[in-house]
Amino acid sequence: MSIKLQQKSTLPTQQNIDAISNWLMVFSHPMKKGTFPYQDQLLNRRKQLNLKDADRDAVVLDLPNQNLSHVAYAAIESTISSFDLLTLARKLVATHSSGNPSHIGIVVSGFSDKEAERVAEALISAVLAAAATMPQFKSKKQKPSRLTKLSLYGIHARHGFKQSFAIAEGNALTRSLSMLPPNKLTPTEYLKEVKAIARENKWKLEFYDEGTLKKKKAGAFLAVSQGSPKADAGIVRLRYTPKAKTTGKKVFLVGKGICYDTGGTNLKPANYMFGMHEDMQGSAVALGTLLALTKINFNRPVECWMALAMNHIGSRAYKPNDVITASDGTTIEVVHTDAEGRMVLSDTLALASKEKPSLIMDFATLTGACMYSIGTSYSGVFTNRKDWHTALIKAGEDSGERVWPFPLDKDYDDMIKSDIADVKQCSQESGVDHILASRFLQRFVKNDVPWVHMDLSSSNKKGGLAHIPTDTIGFGVRYSVNLLLNKYLN
């Protein structure tokens, strides 16, 4: 993403404003007179719209200058939540989309230094999210973003918003991979993409193919992959090592990478099968988070484990009442073949946790039950450290990617007891499948490794979410980078 950011701590002059055709402006509420060129025009526009309170939507006007500079602005209170601020930023940026500008000016005025930086960060993040190139296969080619320059006035951040650019790049990778059609992103093609990214970023890559997984006795993973006509499933293991020496312990990012989910033998209805090419978004979130952490030179070693497979129908596909054995020796009674995500993740978590990292975070578009519980504006989180609940919520509130923790009490295991095996894959009766799936996964996290599981109910939302303008959100990259960098769990 080659967009240059220019910063000036002063407000723009009239000459500066006249030189740029597209502007984003955010002022503290109430707006003060006489502090800004063209402020009378801005205040008059608010008066025409009868706006007296702080804004939650973009106010738009064209200035009476030679350029007819297009301005989208708002007057907000500094107490605005991160989510609402990012949402407003997306709305402001959207007013410029039809013009596809090459240069955007940004003004932040009337806030303390810390508040101004938060506002500027939201605006920059929204601009970068909108400018990212997403896959298109239309015969008529879409025009790519022309944006190459941002001019920021009213604040000068010493770090140059490096973290925002890194997160934007990681999120764009997550979204672009998730949008690829299932015939374009098979496990084979996915592995090719990952290998190219690994070379570029000097990550060490290992691939546990089906032959290797058979040796590791990863029967839960292989039960899902055995129905595929091509034996290209496997677990990708990527390793990032900081340039500087560090005593920090490893963080593991684990992701569900089901490139297409038919439901298997328990075939999904058509309406629920459409869109299942995005069932690999958990793995893309893990990969995008690794990329963002690499770009900011994160000071701890990080590994990314991606469980890549397809859930096919066919004569070799696994079926209800099968009993399979996972890599840790746990026997599993299959109940429903559409609960394949927890199958591939169980072996992946078991293998990863053997390495005894200091933290495992896993990401998965795992259950409809989580979405039914909290909708598509939040994602669910689960952890084997109950005292982390408050910190996990706070990290979501601060980052603008909101999450809500669910219980993981042991008595939920009664619902997945099996008469024939150690555990049932899921329950036929329950409406709390998101909790049961997490209880199932938790048993494969070994050595008392601290673990956070994110059920990505916010992976896709019509019209976008927070600062992201596309239906495919890439939720989790921004959250995870902020969680790790700001040490919420320490």
- What integer pLDDT is reported at residue 245 of this predicted model? 79
Cα separation, 296 vs 274, in Å, equals 36
Residue 288 lies in a domain: yes
Instruction: Could you list the beta-strand ranges (E) of 86-217.
Output: 103-109, 149-153, 204-209
Cα separation, 304 vs 307, in Å, equals 10
| Domain end position, chosen among 105, 128, 160 | 160
Q: Are residues 189 and 277 in the same domain?
A: yes
Residue 212 lies in a domain: yes
Cα separation, 323 vs 335, in Å, equals 10
Cα separation, 111 vs 28, in Å, equals 6
Q: What average pLDDT is seen over the chain?
A: 96
Provide the residue type at 293 as one letter. L
Please name the residue that has the structure tokens 């900081």: 242
Please name the residue that has the structure tokens 């650019």: 165
Q: Are residues 141 and 262 in the same domain?
A: no
Reported as type and span, the H/E element at residue 236 is: strand 234-240
Residue 219 lies in a domain: yes
**Domain count of the fold of the chain:** 2
Cα separation, 328 vs 185, in Å, equals 30
Residue 173 lies in a domain: no
Q: Are residues 205 and 144 in the same domain?
A: no
Quote the Cα angle for 383-384-389, to 5°. 45
Residue 102 lies in a domain: yes
- What integer pLDDT is reported at residue 247 of this predicted model? 67
Q: Are residues 247 and 346 in the same domain?
A: yes
Residue 167 lies in a domain: no
Q: Are residues 274 and 343 in the same domain?
A: yes
Q: pLDDT by residue (tens digit) across 120-156?
A: 999 999 999 999 999 999 998 888 899 999 999 999 8
Q: Are residues 277 and 377 in the same domain?
A: yes
What is the extent of the structural domain holding 332? 180-485
Q: Are residues 156 and 186 in the same domain?
A: no
Provide the residue type at 56 as one letter. R
Q: pLDDT by residue (tens digit) across 292-302?
A: 999 999 999 99
Q: Helix, strand, coil shares of the chain as percentages rounded to 5?
A: 35, 20, 40
Predicted confidence (pLDDT) at residue 1 exceeds the cutoff of 60 = no
| Domain end position, chosen among 130, 160, 190 | 160
Contacts (Cβ under 8 Å, ≥6 apart) of 346: 220, 221, 326, 330, 332, 440, 441, 444
Residue 172 lies in a domain: no
- pTM value is 0.97
| Domain end position, chosen among 128, 160, 192 | 160
Q: What is the mean pLDDT of residues 181-190?
A: 98
Q: pLDDT by residue (tens digit) across 338-375?
A: 999 999 999 999 999 999 999 999 999 999 999 999 99
Q: What is the mean pLDDT of residues 193-203?
A: 98
Q: For position 51, which CATH number holds?
A: 3.40.220.10
Whether 10 contacts 152, CB under 8 Å: no
3-state secondary structure of 387: helix
pLDDT grade for 336, boundaries at 50, 70 and 90: very high
Q: Are residues 37 and 99 in the same domain?
A: yes
Q: Are residues 257 and 362 in the same domain?
A: yes
Active site residues: 268, 342
Provide the residue type at 225 as one letter. S
Cα separation, 487 vs 422, in Å, equals 37
Cα separation, 366 vs 439, in Å, equals 13
Residue 412 lies in a domain: yes
Listing DSSP states for 49-102 in one string gives: TT--S--SS-EEEE-SSTT--EEEEEEE-TT--HHHHHHHHHHHHHTTGGG--S
Whether 109 contacts 154, CB under 8 Å: yes
Whether 340 contacts 290, CB under 8 Å: no
Q: Are residues 68 and 212 in the same domain?
A: no
Q: Are residues 262 and 156 in the same domain?
A: no
Q: For position 327, which CATH number holds?
A: 3.40.630.10
Q: Are residues 313 and 377 in the same domain?
A: yes
